[in-house]
């Protein structure tokens, strides 16, 4: 086998070409297209070092997907309110980095429905679409509410969460294509069943801030997967530094080999070598 790249790994880049997803490994500064590797033998090798994505210092363990412990404790992007946006504390003057918050949280967000392993509700910055859906392996997706801040997206998601899941079952995701669902119909059901809560949010934040998207059409997404595994085993690079097999496909941030699956995002900031 020959080495085709090495460096600090980041989540794969994913872009839509018509409805098809094109992936690339990101290793340090270089990008290596992944789709052409499907059907071939590929080996990932963890080289034994992790360098923090923020400060570059070497860390034994990766925290919050790619940070050292001190950065995990001080960066705004590692704060509890990123996972639970309704807990945003910017207005109390306690944001870990108010200018970061201003740039990344006090900006338009989208609440969406996605079908990855069944219907789920999710949120993301408006500029992160459709990347967010591709990272999650969604085969259908539909933006349903546009809001003015991350915190507001958390409030809206909270309303919908009582009716729709907010997690992806990754095992189901890697076992096959999710059966198609009518996301537009589910949007209408949610708008109706949560009407009171939505009106309350519009009264609190304004009609401009909380906009229901009635007329958007769902998009369809196809992943480059030649075959799904019947039994799902995960590689763990912390225990065994080599993940190798015939690459069957890519979905979300998962590489699917005939020998097991691996979530590339989980290894953000690990030094990896890729062989073909």
* Residues at the interface with Zn ion (CB under 5 A): 52, 54-55, 68, 71
CB 258 within 8 A of CB 246: yes
Least separation in angstroms between CB 10 and Zn ion: 15
| Least distance (Å) between residue 77 CB and Zn ion | 12
Q: Which of 109, 113, 108 is nearest to 190 (CA)?
A: 113
Q: Give the nearer residue to Zn ion in terms of CB position, either 38 or 50.
A: 50
* CB of 78 vs Zn ion, minimal distance in Å: 10
- 206 HSE (CA, 13 A, CB side): 5
CB 168 within 8 A of CB 120: yes
Residue 59 or 136 having the CB closest to Zn ion: 59
- Residue labelled with tokens 């294509």: 177
- Residue that has been written with the tokens 């872009």 in this structure: 15
Nearer to Zn ion, 62 or 124 (CB): 62
Q: Residue 227: helix, strand or coil by DSSP?
A: coil
Residue closer to Zn ion (CB basis): 54 or 266: 54
Nearest CA-CA partner of 223 in 10, 16, 9, 40: 16
Taking the complex as a whole, the smallest distance from the CB of residue 51 to Zn ion amounts, in Å, to 9
Residue 73 or 199: the one with the smaller Cβ distance to Zn ion is 73
Give the N- to C-terminal CA distance of the chain in Å, as an integer.
Answer: 5
Report the C-alpha gap between 105 and 87 in whole angstroms.
12
DSSP annotation of 78: G
Q: Tell the smallest beta-carbon distance from residue 266 to Zn ion (Å).
A: 18
Query: Nearest approach, Cβ of 75 to Zn ion (angstroms)?
Result: 8
Q: Which is nearer to Zn ion, 50 or 256 (CB)?
A: 50
């Amino acid at each position: 086998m020959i080495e085709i790249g090495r460096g600090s790994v980041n989540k794969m880049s994913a872009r839509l070409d018509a409805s098809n997803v094109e992936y690339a490994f990101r290793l340090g500064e270089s990008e290596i297209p992944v789709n052409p590797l499907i059907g071939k033998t590929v080996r990932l090798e963890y080289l034994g070092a992790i360098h923090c994505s923020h400060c570059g210092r070497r860390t034994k363990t990766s925290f919050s997907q790619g940070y050292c412990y001190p950065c995990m404790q001080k960066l705004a992007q590692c704060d509890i309110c990123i996972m639970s946006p309704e807990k945003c504390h910017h207005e109390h003057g306690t944001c870990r980095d108010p200018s970061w918050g201003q740039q990344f949280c006090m900006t338009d967000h989208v609440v969406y429905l996605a079908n990855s392993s069944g219907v789920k509700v999710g949120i993301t910055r408006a500029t992160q679409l459709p990347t967010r859906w591709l990272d999650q392996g969604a085969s259908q997706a539909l933006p349903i509410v546009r809001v003015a801040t991350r915190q507001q997206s958390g409030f809206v998601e909270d309303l919908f969460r009582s009716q729709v899941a907010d997690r992806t079952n990754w095992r189901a995701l890697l076992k096959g294509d999710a059966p198609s669902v009518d996301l537009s119909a589910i949007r209408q059901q949610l708008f109706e069943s949560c009407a009171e809560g939505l009106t309350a949010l519009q009264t609190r934040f304004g009609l401009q801030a909380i906009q229901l998207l009635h007329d958007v059409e769902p998009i369809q997404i196809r992943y480059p997967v030649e075959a799904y595994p019947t039994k799902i085993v995960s590689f763990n690079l912390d225990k065994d530094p080599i993940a190798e097999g015939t690459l069957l496909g890519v979905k979300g941030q998962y590489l699917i080999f005939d020998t097991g699956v691996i979530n590339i995002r989980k290894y953000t900031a690990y030094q990896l070598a890729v062989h073909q």
